[in-house]
Amino acid sequence: MSKTRFIFPFDALLALGIIGGVYIGGQFGVAAYQRFENWGKPKRWSVDKWDRRMMDRDCRLTGNVNFQIAEARAPPQFSRNSAWELEKA
């Protein structure tokens, strides 16, 4: 029996490195796009009905679901911008 040494296929490492780099780069790209889309805030997780209603209220107050108003009273145009008027009877 002749002793043959196992030769490691180093050329496969280049292909695996490219595949891994594209996979990890894609994940970072998606995370960066989600942060860009949410004005620098992280993506929302497990958004329930309450959160959606608050996002709708924030959108009606400020024009964007990611911004809130810290004032005690709503602006005058908020009284004419009701969600109840949008529902069909």
pLDDT (tens digit, 9 = 90+) per residue, 39-64? 888 888 899 999 998 888 888 888 77
Residue range 3-18, pLDDT digits in tens: 778 788 888 999 999 9
The pLDDT value recorded for residue 20 is 96
pTM, entire model: 0.56
Each domain of the chain, given as residue ranges in start order, spans 11-43, 45-81
Give the end-to-end CA distance of the chain in Å, rounded to a whole number.
Answer: 88
